[in-house]
Structure 1
Amino acid sequence: MKRSNSTFLDGPILPALLRFSIPVLCALLLQALYGAVDLWAVGTFCGEADVSAVATGSQTMLIVTGIVTGLSMGTTVLLGKKIGSGDSKGAADTIGTSICVFTLLGIVLSIVMTFAASKIAVIMNAPQEAFEKTVHYILICGAGSLFIVGYNLISAIFRGMGNSKAPLLFVSIACVANIVGDVILIKVFDMGTAGAAIATIAAQAISVVLSLVLIKKKGFPFPFRKENVRLDKGTATSIIKLGFPIALQDMCNEISYLIIIGLVNALGVTASAGVGIAEKLVMFMLLIPMSYMQSISAFVAQNIGAGQEVRAKKAMWTGMFTAVILGGVMSYLSFFHGDLLSRIFIKELPVINASAEFLKATAIECFVLSIAYCFTGYYNGLGKTAFVMAQGLCAIFLVKIPYAWFASHRHEPQLFQIGMSTAYAAVFTLIVCVLYYIYINQKKSKSKIGGALK
């Protein structure tokens, strides 16, 4: 096997982690710009109904992205372990099987989202003024799910190999295409919400095509042939076993945000548009903890595969130190300057005030998750994705959703209190992750002592 272009397995941890995590962060930032640019375009050239439709519709599509990203983490972790252990054939089989699994997933998602678009809009309690536009957005983006799956799988493969720069290149070009497409379709052709959806899917398609061209030209750091593209039952089981818990958690997490938006939608189109804009800004805030989670997962997976457990643990603590600093800056800007951030998307003062109120609560969530997601990245890299899923589901269904429902049904509902449901859930996640870290380390210590006594 050729040596990976990363330095995960030797040398100083911080420079290696930053070299990998910064491109991941930038790629996530640009990917988040897809929905944000759509929201900016309709907010600039259209009206409240289009803003509400794109906000609700794009939040729905995040469920699809969450499922795909979670499952693809199984590919990243398994591929990282194969590369760390020097298993070239296992690495090739992992990629080949992933192609089969995710192609099938993309086809299924495209069919389901196409036929369920109107029902999803009903479930989302989309405001009547924005209902038809919401359906159009979900329908068009859902039909292009295969491209969303393709981009995320290819990015997961590159991350597993320790290469985070290639996905950044693809998404950079695609983001420019999306911006150009939005301006042309919305401003010039006056296609509104539908134009925003078409531009988004076209941009994803461009990323997939470019990435396939690069793979064909440069290949992988190990032998990979057409014969490797087959559904190996054992490999598929390992990928799903690792990725499904994360996918389920991500899906439920996005559903929880949909439920929150549904609760907010009942308060009127102004609150709906405001929280929709706030959620887009929250996506940017959470990019820091998310990028560190993905980076630490890949870093830990390769080191565990190479038998370097101490180095894997040091990577988590090193990443956490820098994540807290960056997360703190983002939280400060969101908490104290949420109104200025919201003005990027819309100029109507009532909507800006609603967005700023919600952002004060989610700023707290962002800071706490900057710590908690470093823990979950470490656990993902260890292969303990079932624990990550369990704690995530508890945070969602025992804390976030119940409190959001309670806050929205008070005599005078406040968006800040509804938003605090996400902050309380983040605190729950952090506490459970810390307790689990103490538990597994105590268990290892007792095991070593027991082994020494024998």
Structure 2
Amino acid sequence: MSAPVTASTHALASRFVAGPITPTLMRFALPLLATNLLHAATGTWAALWVGQLLGANALPAVATAAVLLFMLMGAVMGMGTAAGVAIGQSLGAGDLHAVKRVAGCALAFVTGFSLIVAAAGWALAPLLIDALGTPAEVRGYAVVHLRFTCLSMPAIFVYLVLVMMLRGTGDSRTPFRFTLVWIGLSLLLVPLLLRGLGIAGVGLANLLSAGTALAALLRTIYRRRLPIALHGDDIRHLRPERALLLLMLRRGVPMALESIVTQGAYFALLGLVNRYGATMAAAYAGAAQLWTYVQVPGNALAASMSAMAAMNIGAGRWQRVEQIALRGCLASLAVSTTATLLIYALGAAFDDLPLRLFIRGDGADGAHGEVLAQARRINFIALWGWIALSITMGLFAVVRANGAMLAPTLVFVVTMWLFRVPFAVWLEPWLGSAAIWWSFPFGSITSALLAWAYYRWGRWRRRPLMLSPLASTAAAAAAADTHFGE
């Protein structure tokens, strides 16, 4: 029997399935956008201090660890996305008991997974850094930073999954408030620990800040009895039902593979970059810091579109789902374009100011001046291409809201490994390092075209609700029991 839906939860669901689409979408997206911008600012803050205090050779260590973190984070977010979709659909259908089951399953899995990853990452960091062909000047920084980044992963991963489940309930404000705690502590601790402990201080700062935010968020979830809080008999859901766990993994694994495929392609391209030496590696790391600010708006709006679409799918309101896709993608395209033009304008008007935050290019050091010149060239070629990614993320957010996880993964496999990486490898003999930079917009544009094709002609609309296989199994079992009793 379904648990009753609380008044506050019902109000959130009603606004998503019956309120005006664009204002509701934007109100939900704004805290997500602010959250993502703050996370990006934290990464920028850490890179800024690393570049200024430790020099250009330490900056690639930040980029290398970030690629691995995002790869593993994507694996965790596969489970988080599946949980958020199931929670949104369950709330749309008025089933709070299903929300509790999904929350317990997701938390148990992610906690165990993140602890294993942290231990393995610490042990295997030197092998991974060597496998990437990291320049000798960078290796020491990279190994230490990667190890301490792995140490922070359990706190980060559990926090992120809690946030994704809360967003599935239609609540983006509570995660935003506690992300402010995370960001504030990180901004304070990074320079303090970096000065005292070297590059290890960045990972420790992440561990302390994320751990504090996680503890505070959990306290609030239980104190306010939010939909994902497990009380009393709900605690049993931390020992996941086998059928539910397998269902969640089947839906989450494609997105996890997508992250591995995507970040694996970045690793392959990073290996190409490293062959050009420490100067090029530092330039790429500096330029990539700015790419985040073009990608952030699309990611925030995609998360908003997914939560809103899932509730409308659960309520059977398909006409609204189509409008969510259209209006969300248009908004994402506009904001990402604005962010790109702003970065270009600031660089032109203020003598590469955005890049100078990470790279000392005052002319006193010829090496640093060359790093800045290369980073400027990279951004001229690659930065604008990320605008197209906003369309891909928005459309895939909507199709995933109906549990279609595999097709987006296949699109990224094709985009990354049949288009982007071969483009860079095959054209490098003629274009040199420019082939690597041109592969980014080439991959982004092709992924947007394939995403639109699947959204337009794919069979994702015909899928059943995500938890319906479990409901069918339970109904069959109940019918069998009844028949046996007769």
User: Which range, TM-score by smaller chain?
Assistant: over 0.9
1:204 maps to 2:186: no
Query: What is the CA deviation profile of residues 109-167 of structure 1, one whole-angstrom value per residue up to 9, with x for unaligned ones?
Result: 11221111111111222210110110011111112221121111111111111111111
1:380 aligns with 2:388: no
Corresponding residue to 1:247 among 240, 243, 256:
256
Is 1:413 the counterpart of 2:426 in the alignment?
no
List aligned pairs for 1:148-187, cutoff 5 A: 148-187=156-195
Q: Which amino acid aligns with 2:124?
A: A
- Shift of residue 403 of structure 1? 1.4
The answer on whether the counterparts of 1:78 and 1:238 sit within 8 Å (CA) in structure 2 is no
Q: Who wins on radius of gyration, i.e. which is larger?
A: 2
Q: Are residue 273 (structure 1) and residue 282 (structure 2) matched?
A: yes
Report if aligned partners of 2:273, 2:433 keep a CA contact under 8 Å in 1: no
**Partner residue in 2 for 1:437:** 455
Provide the C-alpha distance between the structure 2 equivalents of 1:362 and 1:169, rounded to a whole number of angstroms: 33
After the TM superposition, which of the residue ranges 239-248 and 432-441 deviates more from structure 2? 432-441
Please state whether the residue corresponding to 1:118 is helix, strand or coil: helix
> For the structure 1 residues 414 and 74, does the alpha-carbon distance in structure 2 shift closer, same or farther, using more than 3 Å as the test?
same
Tell me, which stretches of 5 or more residues in structure 2 are unaligned? 362-368, 463-486
The answer as to whether partners of 2:399 and 2:460 remain within 8 angstroms in 1 is no
Task: List per-residue Cα deviations over 1:251-304 (Å, max 9, x = no partner).
Answer: 221121222222111111111011111122112211111112211111111110
5+ residue gaps, structure 1: 445-454
Deviation, structure 1 residue 250? 1.7
User: Which residue in 1 is equivalent to 2:444?
Assistant: 426
In structure 2, distance between residues paired with 1:283 and 1:352: 18
Identity between Structure 1 and Structure 2 (%): 22
C-alpha distance in 2 between matches for 1:25 and 1:234: 35
Task: Name the residue aligned to 1:347.
Answer: 360
The secondary structure found in structure 1 opposite 2:16 is: coil
Does the aligned pair in 1 maintain the 2:62–2:145 contact within 8 Å? Answer: yes
Give yes or no for contact 1:70–1:244 (8 Å, CA) kept in 2. Answer: yes
Aligned twin of 1:448: none
Amino acid at match of 1:346: I
The answer on whether the counterparts of 2:402 and 2:461 sit within 8 Å (CA) in structure 1 is no
In angstroms, what is the RMSD of aligned CA positions? 1.9
TM-score (norm 1): 0.92
Is 1:391 matched with 2:411?
yes
Q: CA deviation at 1:222?
A: 7.3
1:307 partner SS: coil
1:359 to 379, 389, 393: 379
Give me the whole-angstrom Cα distance separating, in 2, the residues matched to 1:368 and 1:167: 28
1:21 Cα deviation from its structure 2 partner: 0.9
2:94 counterpart (79, 86, 89): 86
CA positional deviation for 1:238 = 2.5
**TM-score normalised according to structure 2 size:** 0.86
Checking the alignment, whether the CA contact within 8 Å between 2:152 and 2:206 is kept in structure 1 is: no
1:68 aligns with one of 67, 71, 76: 76
1:217 corresponds in structure 2 to 223
Within the candidate set 22, 47, 57, 1:49 is matched to 57
Aligned equivalent of 1:303: 312
Aligned equivalents of 2:339, 2:425: Cα separation in 1: 27
Following TM superposition, by how much is the alpha carbon of 1:346 offset from its aligned partner in structure 2, in angstroms? Answer: 2.0
Q: Which amino acid aligns with 1:162?
A: G
Measure the CA separation in 2 of the matches of 1:411 and 1:403.
Answer: 11
Distance between the aligned counterparts of 1:14 and 1:192, measured in 2? 46
CA distance in structure 2 between the partners assigned to 1:412 and 1:300 by the alignment: 43
2:138 to 130, 147, 151: 130
Report the Cα distance in structure 2 between the residues aligned to 1:154 and 1:442, rounded to whole angstroms: 27
Secondary structure class of the residue paired with 1:299: helix
Kept after mapping to 2: 8 A contact 1:79/1:91: yes
**d(CA) in 1 for partners of 2:381 and 2:265?**
16
1:218 Cα deviation after fit: 0.7
Task: Quickly say closer, same or farther: Cα 1:248–1:443, change in 2 above 3 A.
Answer: closer
8 Å contact from structure 1 (residues 74, 244) kept in 2: no
1:333 Cα offset (Å): 3.0
Q: Where in structure 2 are the equivalents of 1:7-22 lying within 5 Å?
A: 7-22=15-30
SS at 1:8's partner residue? helix
The letter for the 1-side match of 2:325 is: M
Secondary structure class of the residue paired with 1:410 = helix
SS across alignment from 1:163: coil
Q: How far is the alpha carbon of 1:443 from its aligned partner? A: 9.1
| Alpha-carbon separation, structure 2, partners of 1:228 and 1:353 | 55
- Asked if 2 retains the 8 angstrom alpha-carbon contact of 1:151 and 1:208, the reply is yes
Distance 1:224 1:299 in 2: 24
Paired residue type of 2:205 = A
Q: Contact 2:84–2:307 (CA<8 Å) still a contact in 1?
A: yes
Q: Does 1:401 align with 2:421?
A: yes
Q: What residue number does 2:365 align with?
A: none
